[in-house]
Amino acid sequence: MSHTIMKRVAAGVLTAGAVAGMTLAVPGAAFAASSAADAAGSTSTVPPSTPKCTPSLVSEAQQALQAALSGRVTQLDALQSAAGNTANHLTPGDRQTLQNDITTTEIPGIQALQSQVQQATTCPQLRAAARAMVFDYRVYVVMTPQTHLTVVADDETFIEGQFAAFEPTIAQAITAAQDAGKNVTAAQAAFTDLKNQVATAQSATAGQDTTVLAQTPQGAPGNWQVFLAARTDLTNARNDLRSAYTDGQQIRTDLQ
């Protein structure tokens, strides 16, 4: 599964290389392609770039790069909204970290490149901007999964807290039902499972936000595996919390 995804990423970066390389012949893009392929363990050969940024094609290369930068600004705006959305349960510290990265580093950096590209008149100038766009900011393969995975991790931590706070109430309800002469065997079993599910989810979630937030554009493409591992743990935690919720429903039904 992860191998497939890494191949896909490698292919994606190859595409980036194609965009930057074929259009601009950016040395960095070729480097990106080989790095991603190496990270994926792929032995496939990197297709040769087809330099197109010749003096007669500077304007076309410039437009392609401007479009790529504009897409990244749009994506960063979306990430900024996600980080600022108070409907999610990002911790104040995590929210601040994400907002700082997005608003004080990423967006100003990409916007500076937009100005740089607008004023560029030569292929080397465009190559330098394209390389920085990919390697310095990693909007799609670092900032994007980092933001969304952190939101998921903190959401799960919040829900785990809800369950933990609810457990004494459930215990009281079961005791009260038992005192009233009700058979609470099934409810008690469901409650035991609920506590186990929540504890397992807590283990899977613990420290994920810190790990994910520690990733930087400079760590790509190697940190892709970190994101994949976080996704696996967070998906498992989500399933545990779903099971805990089902247990809660079962307890409620048994006590009625």
Partner 1 sequence: MHDAKRKLTGAALAAGVAVTLAACGAGSSSHVVGGTTVPVTATSTPAPTSTTVSPGTTIPVTAVPTTTVTSDTLSANTLNQVATELGSLDGNLSTADNDLNNPQGDS
* Interface positions with partner 1 (CB under 8 A): 5, 8-9, 12-16, 32, 68, 71-72, 75, 87-89, 133-134, 138-141, 144-145, 148-149, 151-152, 155-156, 158-159, 162-163, 165-166, 169-170, 172-173, 176-177, 227-228, 231, 234-235, 238, 241-242, 245, 248-249, 251-253, 255-256
Shortest Cβ 55–partner 1 spacing (Å): 26
Joined together, the tokens standing for residue 188 give: 């008690």
* Cis peptide bond N-terminal to 217, omega within 30: no
- Residue 121 or residue 235: which is nearer to partner 1 going by CB? 235
Smallest distance, Å, CB 48 to partner 1?
18
- Whether residue 47 has a cis bond before it, omega within 30° of 0: no
Which is nearer to partner 1, 39 or 170 (by Cβ)? Answer: 170
Helix (H, G, I), strand (E, B) or coil at 145: helix
Of residues 3 and 8, the one with the C-beta less far from partner 1:
8
Are 29 and 14 contacting, i.e. CB atoms less than 8 angstroms apart?
no
CB of 138 to partner 1, least distance (A): 6
Question: CA 79, CA 96: separation in Å to the nearest integer?
Answer: 13
Beta carbon nearer to partner 1, 56 or 86: 86
Residue given tokens 């469901």 in the structure block: 190
Residue 73 in contact with residue 111, Cβ under 8 Å? yes
Shortest distance, CB of residue 31 to partner 1, whole angstroms?
A: 12
Positions of E strands within the chain: none
Residues 6+ away with beta carbon under 8 Å from 121: 58
CB of 56 to partner 1, least distance (A): 27
